[in-house]
Amino acid sequence: MRKQQMDRDWIATARTLSEALPYLQRYAGAVVVVKFGGNAMGDEAAMAEFARDIVLMRQVGVNPVVVHGGGPMINDLLARLGIKSEFVRGKRVTDKATVEVVEMVLTGLVNKRIVQAIMDEGGRAVGLSGKDDDLMVCEADDPDLGFVGRPVEMNVQVLRDLFAAGIIPVVAPVATGMKANETFNVNGDTAAGALAAALKADRLLLLTDVSGVKNREGEVVTQLSPDEVRGMIADGTISGGMIPKVETALAAVEGGVRAAVILDGRQPNACLLELFTDHGAGSIIRSTEPRVKPRRT
């Protein structure tokens, strides 16, 4: 009986791999930007699983870019250093002392953890921030918030060079400014969307702690057009913390990204489910392309 069950399991695995073939063909050579954050960043098993998925994507010909946040780690170090945070309209003011801590945590701690996790799974990864090679140049998003940046110039050739070398870029959302010696903290979703648009990525995957965009009945809407998203914001269906995420997705799609997906990063193999199965995962936002059996284009 046990052997029969094992045989069925192996057959199911083989069938899954076979059914994935058109998707593997579809995404060969594609650029996929993945925003990684949330609870998975503090969980070693979840980090390892995420890294394994990213390495698999690279192994089958996808060019992934990982963009990460690190809010909880920043909050922890600020508290330990006794640096108090001020808030304006619910948003943290990032003064010079705070932005130094942000840079330290994101580029020196979180970024290298993700790089190491990818390396441990057999991949090749390089960590960098928006300051490297002027990858991301920002200006102040709101003067009242201090060193919180909005990307105004993107220089993504360094990422293309890493793709050509078979290396996975891992990007910390810390950027340079238009003036000398300026450093800006950039929202992770915003940074991922800006990079995806600059690369004209095939997919922007925004991993969150929710299952996707929900309608008034609380059901996840699997496919959305930009107009539908704007309507759901206007009537209050989309509210709170989901608004900046869908606005990032909209900006990316309007900037040339083929589609943006908001999905639950806590779900095992979420990125692989989205890219390589008929079912997909989360809520996909795009202008024209339907979710149908893919053809190689």
Domain boundaries, the chain: 26-285
One DSSP character per residue, 181-213 reads T-EEE--HHHHHHHHHHHHT-SEEEEEESSSS-
Please state, for a pLDDT cut of 90, what percent of the chain lies above it: 59
Q: What are the residues whose beta carbons fall under 8 Å from the beta carbon of 182, sequence distance 6 or more?
A: 147, 176
pLDDT at 22: 74
Q: Which CATH number fits domain 26-285: 3.90.1530.10, 3.40.1160.10, 3.90.76.10, 1.10.443.10?
A: 3.40.1160.10
Q: Are 269 and 53 in contact (CB under 8 A)?
A: yes
Q: What are the residues whose beta carbons fall under 8 Å from the beta carbon of 279, sequence distance 6 or more?
A: 273
Which strand (E) or helix (H) includes residue 258? none
Mean pLDDT of 157-166: 97
Distance in angstroms (rounded) separating the CA atoms of residues 177 and 9: 54
What's the N-to-C CA distance of the chain in angstroms? 45
Q: Mean pLDDT, the chain, as a whole number?
A: 87
Question: What pLDDT digit, counting tens, does each position of 222-264 carry?
Answer: 899 999 999 999 998 998 888 889 999 999 999 999 999 999 8
pTM value is: 0.89
Question: What pLDDT digit, counting tens, does each position of 25-34 carry?
Answer: 888 899 999 9
Question: What pLDDT digit, counting tens, does each position of 53-63 carry?
Answer: 999 999 999 99
Distance in angstroms (rounded) separating the CA atoms of residues 91 and 69: 16
> Which residue has 């192996």 as its token pair?
10
